[in-house]
Amino acid sequence: MERDIPALDLEVALERAFAAAMPEDRRAYVDRRVVTALANVHRRPSRRLFGVDRRPPLRRLLLAGAIFVALAAATVTAAGSLFGSLTAEAPLLRDVWERATPIGRSATDAGHTITLERAAVDRDRIWIAVSVTGNTGESAAPGRMHLVDAKGTTFTGRTGAGDAMAGTSAEIFGFGVPPGAEPAGPYTLIVTSVTPISGERERLGRWVIDFDVPAR
Amino acid sequence: MEISQPRPSGAAVDQGLEDRVAIEARRDKAAFTWLYEQHVERVFRYLRGRGANEDEATELTAVTFERAFRHVDRYRPGQAGFAPWLLAIARNAFIDERRRRRPQPLAEAETLVASGSDPEEAAIAAEDHRRLAALVARLPDVQRDALALRFAAGLSSRDIGAVIGKSEAATKKLLTRTIAALKEDLNRGA
């Protein structure tokens, strides 16, 4: 049977035909791949601190002293300044950081202290800002982790960005909320490994931090 | 026949802002994350529209962003825009993948996904959708590519031209002819 399909209807049909939604588990997989790719590049701090030094001995000594003082101070404020530089030019992360609720709870295991600095809960994403401080000066990023809410819903798929220097890393992660799910506090963050920035094998451990923030 | 401009999918982001963020992404991973959030769904939709199954599209989406992060310093602000640059990477990844594999017929209905929310409406449209999917799957590669860039990735004719290496006028003509041919086939009940 012959009929006439208006061109605009056909375009609408094509839009629908090409509207393949990305399933949550697929998104989580790609998130992990991209986070790993980002975590393997730490250009700024390492070049400055560990590049080949051709300065005269006296200058090297003075510089070493200056670096020691700077690192000592950095240990105290590293997480704060790292979050500052991490969010300074990234509108999305800056928005999250500014409206997130300060938490400031820590857990220590396997030679690393993980601190949940801030958190925010949106309808489609739960955001956490965490810092990891190596007790021996080793910089590491959070590895395997998930969130559990009061209803027992587990949130695993995530994306994030971070930076590291002087044995401390700062990362902001967004955990995807599955369609139809409504996150309900209180929440528990469970981290089961950290990944050294040096590329060495991940350190297994268990860091558990409870927190609660209102949903937006 | 004139084809309409693509409707914006998701939040509209102006090119100036994306250019600034892309420059920052050369040294700031957070900036790259922002670009990733803006475009990940679009890249996945495009790859599915090209005929990649869900596994392939997932893998190639990851590969696209890994390559984009590695080479973000090659992005030139002020030209076509970040989305066409990114989709060109996705397109090359898809072509490479298909070259590696033996040629195989493109998937039909399983690749193109219906999104009718009303079950009754969806049931009525199902037959038309199946036929449309079958017709799209049989299109020459260049036509299917242009349709995927328009209807899955939401690019303008100018941006599609930048991805596939044609002028804006030639791209418009390609899209117009492709849609006209589809319309004719559907009207004939092909």
Q: How far apart are CA B17 and CA B143, in angstroms?
A: 31
Quick check: is B1 in a domain? Answer: no
Q: Are residues B171 and B99 part of one domain? A: no
**Residue B56 lies inside a defined structural domain of this protein:** yes
Angle ∠(A36,A38,A39) on CA atoms, nearest 5 = 65
Both tokens of B124, joined, read 């009525």
User: Of the candidates B43, B73, B103, which is a domain's last residue?
Assistant: B103
Q: Which residue ranges form the domains of chain A, and what is each CATH number?
A: 23-47+56-211 (2.60.40.1630)
CA distance B140 to chain A (A): 16
CA distance A66 to chain B (A): 25
Q: Which chain B residue is nearest to residue A171, measuring alpha carbons? A: B30
Cα–Cα distance between A26 and A159 in angstroms, integer?
A: 12
Give the chain B residue whose CA is nearest to the CA of A33: B62
Question: Do B188 and B155 sit in the same domain of this protein?
Answer: yes
**Enclosing domain of residue B181:** 118-190
Q: Is residue B8 domain-resident?
A: no
Contacts (Cβ under 8 Å, ≥6 apart) of A36: none
- Which candidate from B27, B57, B148 shows the least CB-CB separation from A18? B148
Last residue of a domain, one of B103, B137, B152: B103
Residues of A in contact with B90 (CB under 8 A): none
Determine the average pLDDT of the residues in A31-46: 65
Nearest Cα neighbor of B13 from B72, B83, B77 is B83
DSSP string, chain B: -PPPPPPP-SS---HHHHHHHHHHTTT-HHHHHHHHHHHHHHHHHHHHHHT--HHHHHHHHHHHHHHHHHTGGG--TTSS-HHHHHHHHHHHHHHHHHHHSPP-PPP-TTTS----SSHHHHHHHHHHHHHHHHHHHTS-HHHHHHHIIIIIT---HHHHHHHHT--HHHHHHHHHHHHHHHHHHHHHT-
Distance, in Å, from the CA atom of A216 to the CA atom of A208, rounded to the nearest integer, reads 24
CATH number, domain containing residue B127: 1.10.10.10
Question: ipTM of this predicted complex?
Answer: 0.81
Q: Is B139 part of the contact surface with chain A (CB cutoff 8 Å)?
A: no
Residue A33 to residue B62, Cβ atoms within 8 A = yes
Instruction: Clarify whether residues B125 and B80 are in a common domain.
Output: no
**Looking at CA atoms only, how far is residue B80 from chain A in angstroms?**
22
Last residue of a domain, one of B103, B131, B154: B103
Indicate whether B135 and B172 sit together in one domain.
Answer: yes
Same domain as B95, residue B157: no
Residues B148 and B182 in one domain: yes
Comparing CB atoms, the residue among B58, B113, B151 nearest residue A26 is B58
pLDDT at B189 over 90: no
Domain match, B96 and B160 both: no
Residue B113 lies in a domain: no
pLDDT tens digits, A158-182: 777 777 776 788 888 888 888 788 8
Return the residue of B nearest to A93 by Cα. Answer: B30
pLDDT tens, A202-212? 888 899 999 99
Same domain? For B163 and B189 the reply is yes
Count: domains in chain B: 2
Q: Using a CB–CB cutoff of 8 Å, tell me whether B163 touches chain A.
A: no
Domain of residue B71, CATH code: 1.10.1740.10
Query: What would the pLDDT profile of B121-174 be if each residue is shown by its tens digit?
Result: 555 566 777 788 888 888 998 999 999 999 999 999 999 999 998 999 999 999
